[in-house]
Amino acid sequence: MNVLQNVGIGSAINRVDGLQKVTGRARYAAEHPVPGLLHGVIVSGAIPKGRIVTLEDSEARAVPGVVEVLSHKNRPHVAWFDRSHKDMVAPPGSPFKALYDDKILFSGQPIALVIAESFEVARYAASLVRASYEVEPHNTDFHKAQAERFMPSKKRDTYHPPKNRGDADAAFAAAPVKVSAEYHLATEHHNPMEMHASTVVWEGDGSLTVFDKTQGPQNVRDYLAGVFGMSASTIRVMNPFVGGAFGSGLRPQYQVYLAVMAARMLQRSVRVVMTRQQMFTHGHRPEALQSVQLGAERDGTMTAIRNSATTSTSRYENNMEDVVIWGMMNYACENAAGEYAIAPVDTATSTDMRAPGAATGMTFFEMAVDELAYAAGIDPLEFRLKNYSETDQMNGTPFTSKALREAYAEGAEAFGWSRRSQAPRSMKEGRELVGWGVATGMWDAMFSKTSASARLSANGHLEVASAASDIGTGTYTVMTQAAADTLGLPVEQIAVRLGDSSLPKAPVEGGSWMAASVGAAVQLACRSVAEKLLSAAAKMQNSPLAGASMEAVRFSGGRIALRDDPARGVAITEVMRASGTDVIAVEETASAGISGMISQMRKSRNTHSAIFVEVRVDEELGVVRVTRVVNAVAAGRIINPKTARSQILGGVVMGISMALHEESMTDHRYGRFMNHNYAEYHVPVNADIHDIQVIFVDEPDPEVTPLGVKGLGEIGIVGTAAAVANAIFHATGKRVRALPITIDKLVDDTVAP
Amino acid sequence: MSDVAPISIAFAAMPITLTINGHERRLSVEPWVTLLDLLREREDLTGSKKGCDHGQCGACTVLVDGRRMNSCLKLAVSLDGASITTIEGLAEGDRLDPLQQAFMDHDAFQCGYCTPGQICSAKGLLNEGRARTRDEVREMMSGNLCRCGAYTNIVDAVMQVLESRGQIKEAAE
Amino acid sequence: MNRFSFTRANSVPEAVRAGGGADTRFLAGGTNLIDLMKENVERPSALVDINRVGLAGIEERPGGGLRLGALVSNADTAYDRRVAERYPLLACAILAGASPQLRNAATNGGNLNQRTRCYYFYDTATPCNKRNPGTGCGAIGGVNRIHAILGASPSCIATNPSDMCVALAALNATVRVTGPDGEREIAFADYHRLPGDAPQHDNTLRTGELVTAIDLPDEDFSAHHTYLKLRDRLSYAFALVSVAVALRMEGDRIAEARIALGGVAHKPWRVPAAEQALAGQPASAENFDRAAELLLRGAQGQGHNDFKIGLARRAIRRALRQAAAGTPQSQTDKRIA
């Protein structure tokens, strides 16, 4: 390794946890070895609604090696009040409490936990538990649920209501060019590769160490403390490696509740891992219906936006998303009205899934914009540029930055958009129709108060730590680079600790705020170390740094040196030795600060993207291939172009998946998702994914967050599905307004090929 | 059962010998234990991942006598005498397998959970010697899901190793 | 997964002796059986491991043709030089299915006996006549986009999920079995069955019978064949509709045609009348349409799978075109020829 290699912010270093991942040494939630471990297997219920009449577990108990069968009949005490079961990101309502009573709220609900000395014994015994039910009427049909559509009086605290402007109804009525369309999104399940799992270590003194698959170890710790009436100081939740989550790990899932319940009852260590089938029995992206009506002048000037949506929630919690605001913010249009509500179905509560709200709402809005561009006879990219807004149109505020115009330009250039012919069905190669589509993506650039510690040892080794999570997002690498950037140390001398609730406070990993937030916290902590080092260095005998200010020095290559005269400086290890310091340890908290809070009130902060997609459609057979994607992203400063690119690639793949593949299919008679496995719930495989080019456009933005970083976890998916759908229209002349666009929706026997 | 004495019958643990990453292991295993669970729960080789437990994701891919297979669908007792290579057995000491290095260099993963299966699968692909173009690599790596969507980087990594071994038919598309 | 006894057989006679129980299952590659046992769909009382009984070779048959051992893996079969050259349709169909890992483990005998992907068959919380006779069919009136359009019955609308079997059906293969009553041969068309009122039986194997080999007749369709598979993603997915076509051409006329459909019925679907209608005819769009019409006569949708009827018609047409032109569908280049 080259010590002088630039590894700070902006450099494309390899993921620092890569070695552990490619050697199999990275341990995930179900992989921490514990002596005397018990294994719990969850028994899932069969009906969507009603009550358990009998639960017969004697056969299961008779299997040698079975230690206990937990159910509502014998579960230990948990907190009585709903508020004790609420986690940090819970929506309003009454949280689901596994094994609480005989009530069944959704199909696949856990009804028992079989705990045994081995996984195989528990699995076998679980198959012997029999339940009988009293069935109550249920509804899982979202279209029928529209009759129960409502706006809860208590809103989810992350919800932003649409703000209307002008007179959208009148403008729409008067518009010479208009489109009106209804769109539908099927329920999707996150399906991270790692199934939800918890290993609960019974420490003997009543305290617990919990290895959990979560996006927020402190959220899980506090949740468990509330549920089981424990002091948070007796619970340590660890998630050093998380095998993907995409939102499914924001809220504590029921396996951690069950594993902790069992561990406390039996005073033993317990592991509980969901099956892939059980991954369809908790949070999911809500099913959605969206109605978009757009009006324009004949020259393509947008004059009216009416954007209305409904998303699904459960009967017991009111999950809400920001679905309709995106298009209202993004486009210059004097008249805009948005309306949003939720509708309950008898499933588990829907939950945030990658770019919640925007992935749904911006996708459908951008499909409608494409329809309007065609109605006006204008190139869809030109149409978007014609209605471009420099400001947030809904909130009437400027953006801290918005380089979407540049993203359109650079994306179009790389894609070759200028060679496109406008008419649908006008491009063909061999048997295949070729379609080029464009769409816009938009997400929030958020910042969340986060703490980090830094600890520099005499040998120049630095450890930075925060209770953040790395769910594949690159947090380890981001923290390393923020530290390297500030203290000028080589990567090998920096250790990062995260995924541990005992570390300095951090928010859940979600919403794309982690890099900006924990990066800033690490930078602050390291800067504090740097100040202490400089002050010690200045006190050294004949110090070349005497009297030098922080601004006058540079930390680089393990040395502190004068910017103006880099030859004059001292090694960090020398400073530590000379000052007799064993360790410099600090903890700092990054918050928006007063100026940041004022800025947050006065300005909008968002990432933007322009997505260009090429599809090839075999029209006779309805087969779609996505052969090229260019995603040009304006997301402020990029900490690591390599890992950042991967995040966008992942978002694009999930967007293609949303457009073409993903759908949890429900049998409404049984109120049950039927394709609950990886063979019949389709996500793309390698053969589905071709060329994807990612462009980060230059977007300096010192105001948006302390590091100028905007975050990338969500923006890659937003709009991608719309670009695919728009490309399919361009190829075939067919508007498919229900996602996913499966083969059956493109094969239409009434039209001769 | 028939009246003829079966060759060996087990309703509980039976003895088997497996060579795991070069080490001979004499084990006593109940017939319903899969190779994947044996590796993860009893041998503390947790590099092989459980992503579905039904042969639908490839995260559990290991090499059985040099051939890639889903270890979740193999009963350990049926493999008596076999040689198993897992992700833990690919590197020689500190010297990584070229695929491991290529996966790191191309950032061919994010969360890392599918990665051991991808790498073992790619190792099997190299052993088979039938994939020589990007299209072929894509198809023959399609038994390994990656929910983080690292597919293009995975293909880049595999192509690089194929190239270094002189096994490609044409330059990257 | 339930408890079972485990026996390892070292020869076919040993396997047959050990495998006589109604709840006994032979274990070969395990790719489907172990999956189903984890779902508690299969709950055998005994497993007989047949991986060491031999049957692991591909041999020339005395009178011509090839004999595929039941325990040869799907991958080794597809990549066998003799299979690839003389029966490329079979190689293509095998490579269109599953994944490289599964094809390495799965055996030829096992592929014949793989069970349906019907959601209800797999989900023990729902009714299924195939899994639990008499409980009803959940798929009728339920989620059925992957289900049968041909040959279904009021008690079952499941499909056979195999790709390999579609090619074997088109190739007039013969299944060789050994059981308590000795050896017998089953014509491929008679091996799988329609559900009727006994959908618990996928095939005509008798209790205790073991598939030992698949015989391929000495017929050459290598110049004009294709396996066209349509599915919900471009690889590693079961067929919505697939078509195996083998033609013997004389000039631009079809001398002999074989067409089998996958993903549409409880067994690979062949209609002799459709094949006869093509014999002696030019390879024309009209003739292909007529063949499709005959193949799909009586096709009936269940709601979600109505689209399969039109899709199958188009797929048949395209596959016939591919085969006649001598441009078989590539299983790696996803452009459809």
Per domain, the residue ranges of chain C are 5-52, 225-325
pLDDT in tens, C192-247: 999 999 999 999 999 999 999 999 999 999 999 999 999 999 999 999 999 999 99
Q: Cα(A340)–Cα(A321) distance, rounded to whole angstroms? A: 9
Mutation for testing the A interface, residue in C304, C314, C318, C320 having most A CBs under 10 Å: C314
- For residue A45, what are its two tokens? 């219920």
| Same domain membership, residue A548 and residue A459 | yes
The minimum CA-CA distance between B108 and chain C, rounded to whole Å, is: 20
Spell out which residues of chain A touch residue C141, defining contact as CB-CB under 8 Å. 669
* pLDDT tier, A749 (very low <50, low <70, confident <90, very high otherwise): low
User: Could you tell me which chain B residue has the CA closest to the CA of C50?
Assistant: B78
3-state helix, strand, coil in chain B (%, to 5): 35, 20, 45
Q: CB–CB of A621 and C336 under 8 A? A: yes
| Same domain membership, residue A452 and residue A433 | no
* pLDDT tier, B6 (very low <50, low <70, confident <90, very high otherwise): very low
Pairing of strands A623-634, A691-696: parallel
pLDDT in tens, C6-34: 999 999 999 999 998 889 999 999 999 99
Within a domain: residue A176?
A: no
Residue of A248, A350, A276, A202 lying closest to A42 (CA atoms) = A276
Tell me whether residue A406 is one of the annotated catalytic residues: no
pLDDT in tens, B79-119: 999 999 999 999 999 999 999 999 999 999 999 999 999 99
- For residue B31, what are its two tokens? 């017939």
pLDDT in tens, A67-110: 999 999 999 999 999 999 999 999 999 999 999 999 999 999 99
User: Could you tell me which chain B residue has the CA closest to the CA of C122?
Assistant: B54
Lowest pLDDT segment from A248-257, A738-747, B163-172: B163-172
What percent of chain A stands above pLDDT 70? 99
Q: Judge whether residue B1 has pLDDT over 50.
A: no
CATH for A577:
3.30.365.10
* pLDDT tier, B169 (very low <50, low <70, confident <90, very high otherwise): confident
Q: Judge whether residue C278 has pLDDT over 80.
A: yes
Tell me whether residue C105 is exposed, middle or buried, using C-beta atoms within 10 angstroms of its C-beta: 0 to 12, 13 to 18, 19 or more: buried
Please provide the average confidence, as pLDDT, over all residues in chain A: 96
Q: Within 10 A of A565 (CB to CB), how many other CB atoms are there?
A: 10
Strands, DSSP E only, in chain C? 5-8, 24-27, 46-49, 58-60, 66-69, 174-179, 182-187, 210-216, 225-231, 239-250, 253-262, 281-282
Name every residue in C having a CB less than 8 A away from some CB of B.
1-10, 14, 17-18, 20-21, 27, 29-31, 34-35, 37-39, 46-47, 49, 51, 75, 79, 98-102, 104-105, 234-236, 331-334
Q: CB–CB of B69 and C47 under 8 A? A: no
- Considering the domain delimited by C225-325, tell me its CATH architecture: 2-Layer Sandwich (3.30)
| Same domain membership, residue A240 and residue A111 | yes
| Same domain membership, residue A563 and residue A440 | no
Spell out which residues of chain A touch residue B138, defining contact as CB-CB under 8 Å. 686-687, 689
> What's the pLDDT score for residue B9?
53
Rounded to the nearest 10 degrees, how much is the dihedral formed by the CA atoms of A114, A118, A119, A124? -60
Q: Cα(A404)–Cα(A390) distance, rounded to whole angstroms? A: 9
Candidates C2, C126, C230; nearest CB to A743: C230
* Full residue range of the structural domain in which residue A482 is found: 18-25+448-591
Domain closes at, from A591, A617, A632:
A591
Chain C: partners with 3+ C-beta pairs within 8 Å: A, B
> What's the pLDDT score for residue A40?
98
How many CB pairs below 8 A link B and C? 124
Q: Judge whether residue A1 has pLDDT over 90.
A: no
Strands, DSSP E only, in A3-49? 38-44
Query: What average pLDDT does the segment C254-261 reach?
Result: 98
Q: Judge whether residue A62 has pLDDT over 80.
A: yes
pLDDT in tens, C113-140: 999 999 999 999 999 999 999 999 999 9
Q: Judge whether residue B161 has pLDDT over 50.
A: yes
| Same domain membership, residue A530 and residue A454 | yes
The minimum CA-CA distance between B116 and chain A, rounded to whole Å, is: 6
User: Could you tell me which chain A residue has the CA closest to the CA of B102?
Assistant: A22
Backbone angles phi, psi at A231, to 5 degrees: -75, 135
Spell out which residues of chain C touch residue B130, defining contact as CB-CB under 8 Å. 79
Query: What average pLDDT does the segment C155-183 reach?
Result: 98
Q: Which amino acid is at A319?
A: N
CA A333 to chain centre: 30
> What's the pLDDT score for residue B172?
41
CATH for A112:
3.90.1170.50
How many CB pairs below 8 A link A and B? 185
pLDDT in tens, A371-415: 999 999 999 999 999 999 999 999 999 999 999 999 999 999 999
Q: CB–CB of B142 and C104 under 8 A? A: no
Query: What average pLDDT does the segment C298-315 reach?
Result: 97
Spell out which residues of chain A touch residue C237, defining contact as CB-CB under 8 Å. 679, 682, 685
Query: What average pLDDT does the segment A605-616 reach?
Result: 98
Q: Cα(A533)–Cα(A576) distance, rounded to whole angstroms? A: 8
Q: Judge whether residue B134 has pLDDT over 50.
A: yes
Could you tell me the CA-to-CA distances from C245 to A431, C90, C135 in Å, in that order? 20, 10, 37
pLDDT in tens, A433-443: 999 999 999 99
| Same domain membership, residue A462 and residue A441 | no
Q: Judge whether residue A354 has pLDDT over 50.
A: yes
Domain closes at, from A547, A566, A591:
A591
> What's the pLDDT score for residue A593?
86
| Cβ pair A292, A328 in contact under 8 A | no
- For residue B10, what are its two tokens? 């087990």
Q: Judge whether residue B3 has pLDDT over 50.
A: no
Backbone angles phi, psi at B134, to 5 degrees: -60, -45
Residue of C210, C256, C223, C211 lying closest to C327 (CA atoms) = C223
| Same domain membership, residue A493 and residue A452 | yes
Q: Within 10 A of B129 (CB to CB), how many other CB atoms are there?
A: 10
Contacts of B91 (CB under 8 A, 6+ apart): A23, B97, B100
pLDDT in tens, B45-63: 999 999 999 999 999 999 9
A49 touches chain C (CB under 8 A): no
The minimum CA-CA distance between A649 and chain B, rounded to whole Å, is: 6
Q: Cα(A532)–Cα(A509) distance, rounded to whole angstroms? A: 31
Spell out which residues of chain B touch residue C14, defining contact as CB-CB under 8 Å. 6-7
| Cβ pair A566, A500 in contact under 8 A | no
- For residue A98, what are its two tokens? 């596994």
Pairing of strands A336-344, A302-313: parallel
| Same domain membership, residue A69 and residue A202 | yes
> What's the pLDDT score for residue B10?
54
Q: CB–CB of C5 and B135 under 8 A? A: no
Q: Judge whether residue A4 has pLDDT over 50.
A: no
Within a domain: residue A320?
A: no
Candidates B4, B9, B58; nearest CB to C99: B58
Within a domain: residue A149?
A: no
Tokens 């529209």 map to which residue?
A: A146
Q: What is the DSSP string of C49-111?
A: E-TTSS---EEE-TTSSEEEETTSBHHHHHH-HHHHHH-HHHHHHHHHSS-HHHHHH-BHHHH
Q: Cα(A646)–Cα(A228) distance, rounded to whole angstroms? A: 39
Domains annotated on chain B, with CATH: 14-89 (3.10.20.30), 98-164 (1.10.150.120)
Query: What average pLDDT does the segment B162-171 reach?
Result: 82
| Same domain membership, residue A702 and residue A736 | yes
Q: Cα(A25)–Cα(A12) distance, rounded to whole angstroms? A: 24
CA A532 to chain centre: 37
Domain closes at, from A522, A556, A591:
A591
The minimum CA-CA distance between C119 and chain A, rounded to whole Å, is: 6
Query: What average pLDDT does the segment C320-327 reach?
Result: 98
| Same domain membership, residue A555 and residue A640 | no
| Total domains present in chain A | 3
A422 touches chain C (CB under 8 A): no
| Same domain membership, residue A403 and residue A258 | no
Spell out which residues of chain A touch residue B21, defining contact as CB-CB under 8 Å. none
Query: What average pLDDT does the segment A225-248 reach?
Result: 98
Spell out which residues of chain B touch residue C51, defining contact as CB-CB under 8 Å. 78
pLDDT in tens, A267-297: 999 999 999 999 999 999 999 999 999 999 9
Within a domain: residue A330?
A: no
Mutation for testing the B interface, residue in A22, A509, A625 having most B CBs under 10 Å: A22
CATH code assigned to C5-52: 3.30.43.10
| Cβ pair C100, B140 in contact under 8 A | yes
| Same domain membership, residue A499 and residue A648 | no
SS3 of B60-92 = CEEEECCEEEEHHHCEHHHHCCCEEECHHHCCE
Residue of A432, A384, A449, A447 lying closest to A411 (CA atoms) = A384
pLDDT in tens, A641-683: 999 999 999 999 999 999 999 999 999 999 999 999 999 999 9
> What's the pLDDT score for residue A2?
35
> What's the pLDDT score for residue A753?
39
